[in-house]
Amino acid sequence: MITLQTNTILAESGVAFGTSGARGLVEQFTPDVCAAFAIAFLETVKAEFQFGAMAIAIDNRPSSYAMAQACAAALKQKGVDTIYFGVVPTPALAYAAMERDIPSIMVTGSHIPFDRNGLKFYRPDGEITKADEQSILGLSASFESLGELSDLTTHGEAAQEYVDRYLSLFDTPFLEGKHIGIYEHSSAGRDLYQPMFEKLGAQVTPLERSDEFVPIDTEAVSEEDQKKARDWSAQYGFDAIFSTDGDGDRPLISDEKGNWLRGDILGLLCAKQLGAEALAIPVSCNSSVESSGAFKHVERTRIGSPYVIAEFEKLSQKFSSVAGFEANGGFLLGSDTEINGQALKALPTRDAVLPAIMLLSATAGGKTVSELVDECTVRFSASDRIKNFATEKSKQIIHSYTGNEAALLAQLGLEGVTVESVDTTDGLRMNLTGGDVVHLRPSGNAPELRCYAEAASSERAKALVEQVLGRVPGVQV
C-alpha cells in the first residue's frame, strides 16, 4: 500500500470547487482523488461535529457509482460507516442526512456534460461554506491508496422521506383534475415524481425517460427542449410539465402552453405562496422580485447557493420567515415554516420539488400557471452560455473591460446606449440606458461563459443574449 496526503493529491488533480461543489473531468476523479476529497471533508467536519456515519448518494451519470465506491472505501479506512442511498435527488440526500445529524456526499455533476462529474458536500447542518471548501483543499491527512472497490448496499429511506416531506403538507388531493407531464430524462428523482404527484391527485403522464445521461441546464434550456414542451402541451393538454436538472435540485416547470418558466420567476411565485418575509437571491435574478412588493427585504448576493445560505443567518435575526432562490430555479428554505397547519422544516440547499408544489397549489384558486406568471412579471430575463469557452478568457474579458464598459459595448455591437451603472458582485453586470441589463460571468462549474439579460420584453432580453454571445468570441483582450 502507498501512503498518500490529501492536500498533495487534490492540488495535483486539476479538480477545483465551482459555484457549488467540486467539479472536473471524469478522468480527473480517480479513486485516490475521490478518497482524498472524502477524507479531507471528514476531517473538516469532525472539527465541529460528532458522528459515526456518513451518507452518500449519486446521480445517473455512468461515472458516479465508482466515485461513490471510492468515497465509501476511504471513509472505511478512517472507521466511518457509509449509508448509501443510491440514486436520489441531492435535496433528498441532504434532508435525510440532516434528519440523522450526519454529514453527506452527493456524487453529481448537476447539469454539466456527462464527461464531467463532481462532489457536493453537506455538513450535518447543511451545505458546506466557502471556508469549508478552502479547508478541504488545504487539509493534510494521510490515507492508503485504494485497491479493489467493494459494492455498496442501497438503502431506500432517503427517497421515501423526501417524498413524505411534501405529501404530509396536504390532507386533500389538491391536484385533482390537473394533468401534469413529467419530463423524466435521466433525472436522479425520476422514479419519485410520478407517484408523488399522483398521490396529490394529479393525472400524470411520464415523458421521454433516457438511458443515457442528459445534461439539462435550467438556465439555458435548449431549443430542442423548448419545442418538446410546447409540442407535449399541445398533444396532451397539460396544466404544467415538471422536470429537473440531473441531480434534481433545480426545477424546470412549464405553464399550460409548454413555455418553460424562468427559475427566478418560479422562485418569486413560490416565496409569495409561502409568505416569506425576507429573501436572499443572487445578483443575476430578475428585478421583478423587488418590484412585486411582496417581501419586506431582498438581499442580493454572489451567484451560488453557499452565498445565498450565508445570508440566511443575518436575515433570520430580523425576520421570522426567510427563503432564497436562484435564477436556475433552485429554492432554498432558510427557516422552518407552516403550510396548511403542517410544519415544514428548513432545508437550506437547492430544492426542485417545493417550488413546483407551491406553484401548483397557487393554481387551486382557478388561475393558470401563465396567468400567475403574467401577474408578477414586470421585467423579462433571458440567459444562455457559450460552451467550451476557456474560463481564463472569460476572466480576461471581464477584467479588461471593468471600468471601460463603453469599449466593451462597442465590440458587442450595442450602439446607441451607455452604461448607467455597473455591478461587479459576480462578473460584470451593466445597467444600460433605457433599462436594459447585460451581465457576463464565467460559469463556476465548467468552461463556459454565461450571459444574463433583462429588458422590458422577453423578445428584447433574448435578442440581447443572442447578440452578446454572438460577438463575445471576437472581443479583444
pLDDT class of 468 with cuts at 50, 70, 90: very high
Mean pLDDT value of segment 395-407: 94
Q: What is the pLDDT of residue 276?
A: 97
Q: What is the pLDDT of residue 1?
A: 72
- Domains of the chain in start order, with CATH, are 3-156 (3.40.120.10), 168-376 (3.40.120.10), 380-474 (3.30.310.50)
Mean pLDDT value of segment 264-273: 96
Cell of 97: 442526512
Nearest to 401 by CA among 434, 435, 439: 439
Q: What is the per-residue pLDDT across 121-164, written as a single tens digit (0 to 9) for each?
A: 999 999 998 899 999 999 999 999 998 999 999 999 999 999 99
Over 80: is that where the pLDDT of 103 sits?
A: yes
Compute the CA torsion angle 343, 315, 377, 263 (nearest 10 deg). -70
pLDDT class of 464 with cuts at 50, 70, 90: very high
Q: Considering the chain, what percentage of its residues have pLDDT values greater than 90?
A: 90
Q: What is the pLDDT of residue 14?
A: 94
Cα distance between residue 10 and residue 4, in whole Å: 11
Cα distance between residue 55 and residue 291, in whole Å: 41
Q: What is the pLDDT of residue 161?
A: 97
Q: What is the pLDDT of residue 445?
A: 73
Cβ neighbours for 240, distance < 8 A, ≥ 6 positions apart? 178, 180, 181, 253, 254, 255, 256, 356, 359, 360, 369
Q: What is the per-residue pLDDT across 46-61, written as a single tens digit (0 to 9) for each?
A: 999 999 999 999 999 9
Cα distance between residue 353 and residue 344, in whole Å: 13
What is this structure's pTM?
Answer: 0.91
Q: Which of 110, 243, 284, 381 is the catalytic position?
A: 110
Asked about 110 being catalytic, the answer comes back as yes
Cβ neighbours for 369, distance < 8 A, ≥ 6 positions apart? 239, 240, 253, 254, 255, 256, 261, 359, 360, 363
Q: What is the pLDDT of residue 114?
A: 82
pLDDT class of 18 with cuts at 50, 70, 90: confident
Q: What is the pLDDT of residue 438?
A: 96
| Contact criterion met (CB below 8 Å) for 406 and 417 | no
pLDDT class of 477 with cuts at 50, 70, 90: confident
Q: What is the pLDDT of residue 83?
A: 98
Cα distance between residue 243 and residue 253, in whole Å: 6
- What's the mean per-residue pLDDT of the chain? 95
Nearest to 270 by CA among 357, 339, 358: 358
Reduced to 3 states, what is the DSSP secondary structure of residue 295? Answer: coil
| Contact criterion met (CB below 8 Å) for 451 and 465 | yes
Nearest to 273 by CA among 326, 330, 321: 321
Q: What is the DSSP string of 240-280?
A: EEEEE-TTSSSEEEB-TTSPBPPHHHHHHHHHHHHT-SEEE
Q: What is the pLDDT of residue 92?
A: 98
Cα distance between residue 212 and residue 185, in whole Å: 8
Over 80: is that where the pLDDT of 20 sits?
A: no
Least confidently predicted of 15-29, 171-185, 239-253, 396-410: 15-29
